[in-house]
Structure 1
Amino acid sequence: MRFFKKKHIEEDSPDIILQNEISSIKLALSDQIEQQVEELTSSYNKQTLLAKLDEKLYLEKYKYPDVDTFKYEILKQTIFYKEMIKSLSMILAKVLRGDLKSEEDVDLILRLTKKSVTEQMDQLLDKHYDYFFTKYLSIDEGIHGLEREYKEQMLKYEWFKEMYKFYVDHPLPVTDKVPVRWSVRRIEEVCFQKVSETIYL
């Protein structure tokens, strides 16, 4: 009998009540984020989108007919997108906190970030080279994997830009109980899942 009384007390403890409240808030936020990302991404026609990605890749091949030069340029652009996505996560966090209240402010930061990433490209190539060399550049067939990652990172970048623009005008509810970084991670997860579904399914 004492066991059941103890269990009942534990379930009603402030910590358990708070955990349940946080779980409920996260569930509601997650549902809202999934719905918003679905609405934004579903407005694009999948076949048209894939055709545009293929066209962009074709134009790069046309621009750089030498295979090694093409690999190098695609690698640079893929790294650029990866680094910009990291920066977009920080920008989105500022948007959700209310630190950035207009699209103009966000666009200014984005332009400055693009400039910074471009200027640091030599260092970024060194930073990422081992990963890309092992995964793609050390084997002849690796070029196809690099092309896929290029398209994936490009679409992630473009759609993630749409996310922060959307949340400037449609801010998520903010609460001290759930960190903004959790909301940013959830937006990333849902958005990037949609990218994978679009490209690979």
Structure 2
Amino acid sequence: MKNIVILISGRGSNMQAVVKAQIPNARIAAVLSNNETAAGLAWAAQRNIATDSLSHKNFDSRLAFDEAMMRKIDAYQPDLVVLAGFMRILTPEFCRHYEGRLINIHPSLLPAFTGLHTHRRAIDAGCRIAGCTVHFVTPELDCGPIIAQGAVPVSDHDTADTLAARVLEAEHLILPQAVADFVGGRLKISGSRVIRNTGAQLDARLLA
């Protein structure tokens, strides 16, 4: 059984998707947040998942917060740490501490549109396809080796909100599958590449 710790900052819909997937040999050991009022914490607690929070506002530096968060995470002996809407830029020290066992879901088809406001930027750029990416986390923001991507069409009438809603559906597909593949030993990181074992298949699809 592999221990999974999930980090969130808000409602945690991607965290919920991972929990609901009931991934074989995966135990959601804890859901942690930098926001004590995050709605996702209440959702997880109602399902008897351990929860905790730590406000970054109480720390003088990004590193001090990350070190405190690492201590909380490590108490659950995680095999995998999942960033599921955790709205923090992580220090290199944090990334190195969990190297090879830290993944993130990002709402764009990386390497396009790293950072924030991805849906508005995709529309403004005239993209006809948008989507999301699960990737291993490295110190360089949103630039780690790609595990999986899900694509959705961009319509002429899309707003950032309508596009975000469709991309979120794709996120809910590919993140649980990526976690399942990691837990099942079907993928690993090797340098700047993701190595996938024969037979692993991702449930990524083009959503209408």
TM-score higher than 0.5 here? Answer: no
Q: If the TM-score is normalised by the length of the shorter chain, which range does it land in?
A: under 0.3
Query: Greater strand share, 1 or 2?
Result: 2
Query: Greater helix share, 1 or 2?
Result: 1
Q: For the pair shown, which has the larger CA radius of gyration, 1 or 2? A: 1
Higher relative contact order (CA 8 A, sep 6+): 1
TM-score normalised to structure 2 length: 0.27
